[in-house]
Amino acid sequence: MMTTLTIARPDDWHLHLRDGAMMRAVLPWTARDFARAIIMPNLVPPVVTGAQAAAYRDRILAALPDGMTFEPLMTLYLTEDTDADDVAAAHTSGLVKAVKLYPAGATTNSASGVTNFDAVRPVLERMAEIGLPLCVHGEVTDHDIDIFDREAVFIDRILDPIRRATPGLRVVMEHITTSDAVDYARAQDDTLGATITTHHMVINRNHILAGGIKPHYYCLPVAKREEHRLALRAAATSGEARFFLGTDSAPHTDANKFLPCGCAGCFTAPNTLPILAQVFEDEGALDRLEGFTSKHGPAFYGLPVNTQTLTLTKTAPDLPGHIDTDDGPVTVFDPGFDLTWSVS
What are the catalytic residues? 248
198 phi and psi angles, rounded to 5 deg: -65, -50
Q: In sequence order, which residues have a C-beta less than 8 Å from that of residue 230 and are 6 or more positions away?
A: none
Half-sphere exposure of 132 (CA within 13 A, CB side): 30
The one-character DSSP state at 342 is E
Report whether 177 contacts 202 (CB < 8 A). Answer: no
Per the DSSP assignment, residues forming a β-bridge with 114 are 103
Q: In sequence order, which residues have a C-beta less than 8 Å from that of residue 336 and are 6 or more positions away?
A: 202, 203, 207
Query: Which parts of the chain fold into alpha helices (H)?
Result: 20-33, 50-63, 84-92, 121-130, 150-154, 160-165, 179-186, 205-209, 226-236, 254-257, 272-282, 289-290, 296-301
Distance from C-alpha of 338 to C-alpha of 213, rounded to nearest angstrom: 22
306 phi and psi angles, rounded to 5 deg: -60, 140
